[in-house]
Chain A
């Protein structure tokens, strides 16, 4: 029984591998460069260790916030807090936000269970886990099980294929972790109101911890297609040692017809 089944499986599996059940992968499987960039021999001098589970302050997961008393979010058409958009992107974003205010939903790939990607993932509603190992900082966002890796002391890959989480390298400036991310897919949004970005987006972060223990991520978005000047935002997190990271699976929409994520 086991032997015959094994042969049948092997033959059948070959057909399946050749014909059918391969998954569509965003990237080519080519190696990035000889030598893994997360080189354990690059053990840097003592720096802050932020390994642990963190929650964005004010997010739905913040246990110190009574969500029932949270103020309503600003209207999506309130331009007072908008980034400095170029005329082209300003026109597009106005169209999107006006549609949102009417109750329409445009340009949200996450509705189809696609990753939000970086940097939107850092504005996370659920906890994140930071894992610091020699040569690498790994950030796991519980929201849609998103992972980004920051290679410490490394250089960018040459012409990286665009990915949801980009090609991220970092270095320490004292107790500040400075990261630089390029190679981001252009069909992701920067926030939950459909803010699009261009093909040459670059994000520089400065991570630091205040005396009160709050972890701050100052993100500077640089995008010559989208922005007239760099756009700076700061997100804040607090350590929640008792939180357990949970598996997150986006499944509810998988059997639904795709949400039309057309671009205006």
Chain B
């Protein structure tokens, strides 16, 4: 008798806990709200914010990672497969290929030391060092020390009246099961390209779904990019990042004065 009641109590407890857990985890990527700056007085690294109890995350990105250069996904220069480009964007892209065939760079602002921004931030060949806290991930791309802050403390995107557009965007994230879902908006469109010949507009938006491999030696970043001015629907592409062991990050800077003989910095060979 005692064992039967104990068993029922145990089952009820398991069901109650399970219901709580599954109720807390969003089942789909809902639109991220905007946060009134006044409602969010704490910085993500403020001790009070860090000290709040939170579930243990499914994985920790802390460490150094480098992109796996795979031509199938566009490698270090692109993001494949391409979406269906809008006519103007398609024309620009085709123009870039035509110019390349002549041995020239085409509007290569990255090569001329303008910020590469998102999503190129992922596929520069310099390693990225991540530091993960319960409330935020701070990630530093080795090239130009390009920093991303991904806020995990439940805030929405910043007030658009207060925020500046940036090349890496405003990123907020949350855990959905074993996936880290990151939403990035408010990206700066000036001289900002997804890849050669494909610019971004003010409507550019990125969702990243990060999943860690079981051996924790790599993780994938599935990117879902939308920009209704430049392509139709979603541009889906996935990059794989591999753990870097035995190396410290090195400095990488784009120094125009040292870029002699590089097409992107020679106006005669970087067609506009």
Residues of A within 8 A of B (CB): 1-2, 5-6, 8-10, 12-13, 15-17, 19-27, 29, 31-32, 34-38, 40, 51-53, 112-115, 129, 131, 133, 138, 140, 145-147, 149, 151, 163-165, 240-247, 249, 251, 254, 258
The verdict on A147 contacting B145 (CB below 8 Å), with A27-B250, A164-B251 known, is yes
The residues of B that contact A32 with a CB separation of less than 8 Å are 247-248, 250
Name the distance in Å between A77's Cβ and chain B's nearest Cβ: 29
Interface of B is mostly: loop
Choose the segment among B9-17, B107-115, B203-211, B220-228 that binds chain A (4+ C-beta atoms closer than 8 Å): B107-115
A246 to B258, CA, bound (A): 28
Who on chain B is nearest to A166 by CB?
Answer: B251
Contacting A246 at CB < 8 Å: which of B145, B164, B244, B250? B164
A residues less than 8 Å from B147 (CB atoms): 140, 145, 147, 245, 247
Residues of chain B contacted by A163 (CB below 8 angstroms):
250-251
CB of A140 within 8 A of CB of B140, answer yes
Judge whether B168 and A24 touch: CB under 8 Å.
Answer: no
If over half of A's interface residues share one DSSP class (helix, strand or loop), that class is named, otherwise mixed; here it is: loop
CA distance A77 to B103 in the complex (A): 52
B131 near A138: Cβ-Cβ < 8 Å: yes
In chain A, what residue has the closest Cβ to B64?
A36
Chain B residues with CB under 8 Å of chain A are 41-48, 62, 64, 71-72, 74-78, 80-82, 84, 97, 100-101, 103-105, 108, 110-115, 129, 131, 133, 138, 140, 143-147, 149, 164, 166-168, 196, 244-259, 262-264, 269
The answer to whether B146 and A145 have CB atoms under 8 Å apart is yes
Of all chain A residues, the one with the shortest Cβ separation from B110 is: A21
- The smallest C-beta distance from B136 to any residue of chain A, in angstroms, reads 10
12 more A-B residue pairs beyond the given contacts A38-B248, A163-B251, A249-B115, with a C-beta to C-beta distance below 8 A: A1-B84, A5-B82, A16-B77, A16-B196, A20-B104, A21-B262, A24-B259, A32-B250, A114-B253, A149-B248, A151-B248, A251-B115
Q: In the complex the two chains form, is B46's CB within 8 Å of A22's CB?
A: no
B105-A20 in contact (CB<8A):
yes
Determine whether the beta carbon of A6 is less than 8 Å from that of B81: yes
Q: Is the CB of B145 within 8 A of A10?
A: no
Known: A31-B246, A245-B149. A23 touches B43 (CB 8 A): no
A22 touches B140 (CB 8 A): no
Specify which chain B residues have a CB less than 8 angstroms from the CB of A145 in the assembled complex: 144-147
**CA of A10 to CA of B196 in the docked complex: distance in angstroms?**
12
Whether A12 pairs with B168 at a CB distance below 8 angstroms is no
Picked from A15, A21, A254, the residue with its CB within 8 Å of the CB of B264 is A21
**Which residues of the other chain, A, contact B46 by a CB distance below 8 angstroms?**
52, 241-242
Contacts A31-B246, A149-B249, A245-B149 given: A12-B101 contact, CB under 8 Å? yes
